[in-house]
Amino acid sequence: MGTAIARRLAKTRMLLLTDVDRARLDALTAQLISEGHQAHAVSGDLADPRVSEELAARCTTMGALATLVNAAGLSPAQSDWRTIIAANIVAPEYLQRAVEPLLGDGAVGILIASVAGHLGPVDAAVQALLGEPLQPNLCDLLEPLLAEMIAIHGGTMEGQAYSASKRAIIRKCERHALDWGQRGARLVSVSPGVVWTPMGQEEAANGHRAQAMADATPMGRWGTADDVAATVEFLASGAASYITGCDIRVDGGAVAAMRGTNF
């Protein structure tokens, strides 16, 4: 999804890209440059605050920040639950804090969440903790709460951590929209459904839940990376200038079909 989004935004913007995989990042950046786009790169793990600080510093040399898109994240099949929490909610918090001083009139932040944030079980104590993701010992505090959720609702630590972290992204955009609005900026989340990316394919290969969601989707198919990228392109445009503080679902109707079910 990040690559598809970069390709769409490269048509009208100078890009500053980041990825934890240096080789993948360099290959995309070089390809975009070879196609005539303006692209720069800073590699690193966004769960390290120094990466966000470097990105912000580079932005100040490139002109006004117009659009921030955070498409980095991990799914349950990709890592352990603590790393999922670090990638999906701690890293976006560092990134948001680093760029907020750069916000100006017309800027927009778009954070990729997930329909899992709508369909997963909700625990008030978990969400309260994830509302302050930089607090010390976050995962130690979360561990017994996630275990209790599994005892009640089933699932795995990775699955519950993923759903809770994506719900926290949705809430983050709601909570901070006023602050961003006072700077003339907007903050929106986007919740994809099942998307046929390498991450989505890995989820499909590791269990039945991803395919079950695709089968339940009213549109009757998996989503594509470009379905999400097209939505991000719209949200980043002036045509979306009155959209902020909300979540946009790009899920083929999956949440509408499955809300209230034990998924």
Q: How confident is the model at residue 216, as a pLDDT?
A: 85
Antiparallel, parallel or unpaired: β 39-41 and 108-112: unpaired
Task: State how far the Cα of 39 lies from the Cα of 157, in Å rounded to an integer.
Answer: 38
Q: How confident is the model at residue 10, as a pLDDT?
A: 97
Q: How confident is the model at residue 39, as a pLDDT?
A: 98
Task: State how far the Cα of 257 lies from the Cα of 26, in Å rounded to an integer.
Answer: 40
Residue 31 belongs to a domain: no
Residue 43 belongs to a domain: no
The mean pLDDT of 211-217, rounded to a whole number, is 84
Residues 6+ apart with CB under 8 A from 94: 46, 47, 48, 49, 51, 52, 134
For the cut 80, the answer to whether the pLDDT of residue 209 exceeds it is no
Which pLDDT band, with edges at 50, 70 and 90, does 8 fall under? very high
Q: How confident is the model at residue 241, as a pLDDT?
A: 98
Q: Where do we find the tokens 């990040």?
A: 2
Residue 107 belongs to a domain: yes
Please count the structural domains in the chain: 1
Q: What are residue 137's phi and psi, to 5 degrees?
A: 60, 35
3-state secondary structure of 163: helix
For the cut 70, the answer to whether the pLDDT of residue 107 exceeds it is yes
Percentage above 70 pLDDT, the chain? 98
**Using an 8 Å Cβ cutoff, are 228 and 112 in contact?**
yes
Residue 28 belongs to a domain: no
For the cut 70, the answer to whether the pLDDT of residue 263 exceeds it is no
For the cut 90, the answer to whether the pLDDT of residue 210 exceeds it is no
**Can you give 74-113 as a three-state secondary structure string?**
CCCCCCCHHHHHHHHHHHHHHHHHHHHHHCCCCCEEEEEC
Q: How confident is the model at residue 237, as a pLDDT?
A: 97
Whichever domain contains 101, its CATH number is 3.40.50.720
Q: Structure pTM?
A: 0.94
Q: How confident is the model at residue 208, as a pLDDT?
A: 66
**DSSP, res 195:** B
The mean pLDDT of 228-244, rounded to a whole number, is 98
For the cut 70, the answer to whether the pLDDT of residue 207 exceeds it is no
Q: What is the pLDDT of residues 72-97, one digit of tens each?
A: 999 998 999 999 999 999 999 999 99
Residue 29 belongs to a domain: no
Q: How many CB atoms lie within 10 A of CB 128?
A: 12
Residue 18 belongs to a domain: no
Residue 241 belongs to a domain: yes
Q: How confident is the model at residue 262, as a pLDDT?
A: 63
Q: How confident is the model at residue 147, as a pLDDT?
A: 97
Task: State how far the Cα of 63 lies from the Cα of 189, in Å rounded to an integer.
Answer: 24
Nearest partner of 163 among 115, 216, 208, 214, judged by Cα: 115
Domain interval for residue 81: 65-258
Q: How confident is the model at residue 212, as a pLDDT?
A: 81
Residue 42 belongs to a domain: no
91 or 261, which is more confident?
A: 91
For the cut 90, the answer to whether the pLDDT of residue 67 exceeds it is yes
Q: How many CB atoms lie within 10 A of CB 39?
A: 19
The mean pLDDT of 145-162, rounded to a whole number, is 96
